[in-house]
Amino acid sequence: MTNNHLARLSASLGYVFRQEGLLRQALTHRSYSAQHNERLEFLGDSVLNCTIAKALYDTFPNLPEGTLSRMRANLVKQDTLAEIAIQLKLGDYMLLGEGELKSGGFRRPSILADTLESIFGAVFLDAGFDAAQAVVLRQFQPVIAGIDPNASGKDAKTRLQEWLQAKRHPLPDYRLSGTRGEAHDQIFVVACHIPALGITTQGQGRSRRAAEQEAALAVLKQVGEIK
Amino acid sequence: MTNNHLARLSASLGYVFRQEGLLRQALTHRSYSAQHNERLEFLGDSVLNCTIAKALYDTFPNLPEGTLSRMRANLVKQDTLAEIAIQLKLGDYMLLGEGELKSGGFRRPSILADTLESIFGAVFLDAGFDAAQAVVLRQFQPVIAGIDPNASGKDAKTRLQEWLQAKRHPLPDYRLSGTRGEAHDQIFVVACHIPALGITTQGQGRSRRAAEQEAALAVLKQVGEIK
């Protein structure tokens, strides 16, 4: 791992570490070294939660606590974190043991998400809460800006399920119809079929779940639940 | 609620609000006014979690993430928060609707705990993370200093249960043997009976669960599991 290499990651994060060892530790999976990132992940998870809580509190002054909680759960879940980690190309920087490398650990959503949280924790240690908050928001602000407050923070799959249940229709059937791209940079394609309505839609995304969300969203649009 | 009255609370918290309206809102239960504390509680819960995570990370440099997580769960749970709220006499300051007042809401652990979290959230809004962190630590530092790292963050009831299970003994039997003090300021007394060993101990505390913990601790001491 050369300094040049890490400089690229610093640029994407919008943050230059004073103690570069902290960044290196944040990128180190337990399979690679005893000096791994799990304690930093613990710290980073809490900074992330606190930052998102504050951002949602400020952005949606009229929403009740329950809605803010649901919104936050959606934002800090593994899929969202893994997608951000992929955008940051964290897979290129992570230090994994040989076994994990061979089994493709650098593209596993759980490892990607944990590494991202570890980086947030490392910034918190390096320069305090406000610095960590800025690094988190740089990644999350666009997502938060795109939230529809009328959707009560529920994701498309949940909304579709509730809409179908209210009409006493059977639940949707999600099926992986294929993948595109190289293993390192894969796109999943999922079909969502609503038997009661004879509707089938498609969605795609960096994870199976993201593709399912897109397919569910397409159904909601088709039945007029979302404009 | 006079200013003098709030000044006493400020002194206990070690923090003077710039925007006193925030403190007033933090003390306001939803039964009292539409301008209540639930959104502040959402914010305060996250500040509390983040502050405790950082304090445990710093205090126990050699403990793994799982142990820190368990320790934190123990520290931020309702019982611990309610006990701190009682020490701060928050019940004297809370604004409750008539129904809650009559049913003794000012001594309900859930309301006390939520109000304490709301105060942490109000400080976060009033002066930022570092100020909130200081207010949280003033209350929690003594508790954190008293944690036994060898206990792996497990509480006495959990440790007693695991110790009995390892010996294939039946689980302990906790019974409320009485309460002391006025309704407003009650002490619970609980007996813990271990049928297999013919041991019975007593514990007392501000909540039933705290009394159970003390009784379990007494058993662990009696069998030599804790010095």
A45 in catalytic set: yes
Phi-psi region of A145 (alpha: psi -120 to 50; beta: other; left: phi over 0): alpha
**Residue B30: phi, psi to the nearest 5?**
-60, -20
- Chain B's closest residue to A42, CA to CA, is B65
A173 in catalytic set: no
Q: How many CB atoms lie within 10 A of CB B130?
A: 12
Q: How many CB atoms lie within 10 A of CB A180?
A: 10
A156 — pLDDT class (breaks 50, 70, 90): confident
- Whole-structure pTM over 0.95, yes or no? no
Q: Give the list of residues 6+ apart from residue B101 with CB closer than 8 angstroms, or none.
A: none
**Residue B61: phi, psi to the nearest 5?**
-65, -15
**Residue B135: phi, psi to the nearest 5?**
-65, -40
Q: Do B42 and A124 touch (CB under 8 A)?
A: no
Q: Do B57 and A43 touch (CB under 8 A)?
A: yes
Q: Do A50 and B46 touch (CB under 8 A)?
A: yes
Task: Identify residues of A whose CB sits under 8 angstroms from chain B CBs.
Answer: 38-39, 41-43, 45-47, 49-50, 53-54, 57, 64-65, 68-69, 124, 128-130, 133
Rounded to a whole number of angstroms, the distance from the CA of A89 to the nearest CA of chain B is 25
Q: A109-138: per-residue pLDDT in tens?
A: 999 999 999 999 999 999 999 999 999 999
Q: A177-191: per-residue pLDDT in tens?
A: 998 887 666 788 999
Q: A70-114: per-residue pLDDT in tens?
A: 999 989 999 999 999 999 999 999 999 999 989 988 899 999 999
The pLDDT value recorded for residue B151 is 62
Rounded to a whole number of angstroms, the distance from the CA of B23 to the nearest CA of chain A is 17
Q: Is the predicted pLDDT of residue A226 greater than 90, yes or no? A: no
When CB atoms are compared, the residue of B50, B57, B130 closest to A50 is B50
Q: Mutation test of the interface with chain A: which of B39, B120, B136, choosing the one with the most A Cβ atoms within 10 A?
A: B39
Please state, in angstroms and as integers, the Cα–Cα distance from residue B165 to each residue in B168, B170, B175, following that order: 5, 7, 20
Rounded to a whole number of angstroms, the distance from the CA of B70 to the nearest CA of chain A is 11
Q: Do A64 and B38 touch (CB under 8 A)?
A: yes
Catalytic residues of B: 45, 117
Q: Tally A–B CB contacts below 8 A.
A: 58
Q: What domains can you pick out in chain A, each with its CATH number? A: 3-149 (1.10.1520.10), 156-222 (3.30.160.20)
The pLDDT value recorded for residue A152 is 57
Contact by Cβ (8 Å): B209, B176: no
List of chain B residues with pLDDT < 70: 1-3, 151-153, 183-185, 227
DSSP assignments along A92-139, one per residue: GT-B--HHHHHTTGGG-HHHHHHHHHHHHHHHHHHH-HHHHHHHHHHH
Contact by Cβ (8 Å): A164, A194: yes
The conformation of residue B28, written as its DSSP 8-state character, comes to: B
Q: Do B57 and A69 touch (CB under 8 A)?
A: no
Q: Do B42 and A65 touch (CB under 8 A)?
A: yes
The pLDDT value recorded for residue A153 is 59
How far is it, in rounded angstroms, from Cα A19 to Cα A115? Answer: 17
Q: Do B64 and A38 touch (CB under 8 A)?
A: yes
